[in-house]
Amino acid sequence: MRHGEAVDPGAAPDPQRWLTERGRAASARVAEAMAERGYAPTHLYTSPLVRAVQTAEIVAHATEHPGPVRVEAHLVPGGTTARAVAPLDALPDDAVVWMVTHEPTVRVLAGHLSGLGSFPGFRTSAVAVVARDESGAGRLVGRLDPTSLTWTASG
């Protein structure tokens, strides 16, 4: 998931930018819609930047995630993909993992995990679902549009 809409870059230094009211509302709607589709998180990871942490907390509240919300430094822009996905290897096969991060990190991670390589950009509060099989190979299941809450399944 990409974090929700944040205040303009001139309002605060980038790591400290916080969510707008619209960003908070959109993130909550998306989290609720994803939970209704059966994608409530069992594990929730977030970048340490304020807007991502706030988004992850909204997701946790909206989906009744029992916690914890884990802050992962490698989910910041410029972090390495290998380190960002490393926590996934220790999780059970039935885990539903949410990673709240930023562009272009979210796009790179989605492309890597789905095996697609390249991946289209994410609007704020957008979500993509990637499933991994027994061998660890991933495939794109679908994406949720944060404005219309329209689910687009992948073929």
Total domains, the chain = 1
Q: Supply the pTM of this predicted model.
A: 0.95
Measure CA 97 to chain center. Answer: 9
For residue 140, being part of any structural domain is answered with: yes
Residue 19, domain member (yes or no): yes
Amino acid in the structure at residue 145 = D
In angstroms and rounded to an integer, the radius of gyration of the C-alpha atoms of the chain is 14
- Would you give the distance in Å from CA 21 to the centre of its chain? 19
Taking only the tens place, the pLDDT of each residue in 52-86 is 999 999 999 999 998 899 999 999 988 888 889 88
DSSP letter string over 37-93? TT---SEEEE-SSHHHHHHHHHHHHHHT--SPEEE-GGGSTT--HHHHHGGGGGS-T
Is residue 4 domain-resident? no
Instruction: Give me the pLDDT at residue 117, please.
Output: 83
- The answer to whether residues 154 and 131 touch, using CB atoms and an 8 Å cutoff, is no
* CATH label of the domain that carries residue 147: 3.40.50.1240
Mean model confidence pLDDT for the chain: 94
Mean pLDDT, 10 residues at a time, the chain of 155 residues: 96 95 98 97 97 98 94 90 86 92 94 91 96 86 96 87
**Which residue range is the domain that position 63 belongs to?**
9-153
Q: Does residue 31 lie within any of the structural domains? A: yes
Structure tokens at 75: 């989910």
The two tokens of residue 32 are: 């609720």
- What local confidence, expressed as pLDDT, does residue 155 receive? 65
